[in-house]
Structure 1
Amino acid sequence: MRAETAGQPFTHRCRVYYEDTDAGGIVYYVNYLKFMERARTERLRSLGFAQSQLAGQDLLFVVHSSEARYHAPARLDDELLVTAEVVEMKRASLRFRQQVRRAQDDLLLCEGQFLVACVRTENLKPRPIPEALRTAFVESGLPPAGE
């Protein structure tokens, strides 16, 4: 894992397991969304914010919308590099741009964008992103524009 900077987004490494594949040994398409979810979670963790800690503060991040494009298949035992780059931060949402690449040859396998809403745990109503988290994203390389 590495921190997001102006030139390089945060990257999470993972491996394709048997459970991730279909009968032909190719990653089932929906599992790319799981890999990207893990990278977003690890991005928050790298900033010092665990999902369990945030839930205790009446805060959840939920996917509002997603878009994915598939370019090439990943296969059993491939090592993947999954990026999670925040490209827009609003009062109560984050927009992530993400890619899944095969580590061996840096081939782009899948890419997508995700709008993630910040909501209250109890009623799932929108709530502002806490200032400490906003600051952490800005200090890690996210430009303050887009607010």
Structure 2
Amino acid sequence: MRAQNGTLPFVHHCRVYYEDTDAGGIVYYVNYLKFMERARTERLRCLGFSQSQMARENLLFVVHSCEARYLLPARLDDELLVSAEVSELNRASLRFHQQVRRAVDGVLLCEGQVLVACVRTDSLKPRAIPEALRTAFKVSGLSEAGE
């Protein structure tokens, strides 16, 4: 699994717990969005930006829109690999391309795109993504085509 620019993508490891599944032991569809949210949060943390620190600086990321395609089910106790790659970096938004794969065999289970908007914490009005964060994404492998 390589990013378009040849670098290895960011991957968050997680496990499927009983609370993530339906009565048949299969991951309930909306929980893939939770796994993706955690991967985006960990991607930011890996770049040195925690959600709590950004909130203190009047910056918040909110989901504007998302789409997901479910291919195969994850099941109770599966270890998952969840990617969070920025495919588009705009003045006040980021588009993530995300995949959820089963760790044991790398099989793609779910993939999606999530557009997150950068807003002010106090008013929820759009604000520009700070230059430090923009630079961190570029240094971590965002291709120029993603801008």
TM-score with structure 2 setting the length: 0.95
Alignment of 1:62-77 (within 5 A): 62-77=62-77
Secondary structure, aligned partner of 1:132: helix
- CA contact 1:5–1:141 (8 Å) conserved in 2: no
Match of 1:96 in 2: 96
Give the AA of the match of 1:99.
Answer: Q
Give the AA of the match of 1:114.
Answer: V
Match of 1:39 in 2: 39
Match of 1:82 in 2: 82
Query: Which whole-Å deviations, capped at 9, do the CAs of 1:39-95 have from their partners, x for residues lacking one?
Result: 000000000000000000000000000000000000000000000000110000000
Partner Cα distance (2:35, 2:120) in 1 = 25
Give the AA of the match of 2:134.
Answer: R
- CA contact 1:96–1:114 (8 Å) conserved in 2: yes
Report the CA distance between 1:9 and its aligned residue: 1.4
Q: Flag structure 1 segments of 5+ consecutive residues without an equivalent.
A: none
Query: Which whole-Å deviations, capped at 9, do the CAs of 1:110-138 have from their partners, x for residues lacking one?
Result: 00000000000011100000000000000
- Number of residue pairs aligned between Structure 1 and Structure 2: 144
Q: Flag structure 2 segments of 5+ consecutive residues without an equivalent.
A: none
Partner Cα distance (1:146, 1:9) in 2 = 14
Percent identity reads 78
Partner Cα distance (1:96, 1:75) in 2 = 25
Secondary structure, aligned partner of 1:73: coil
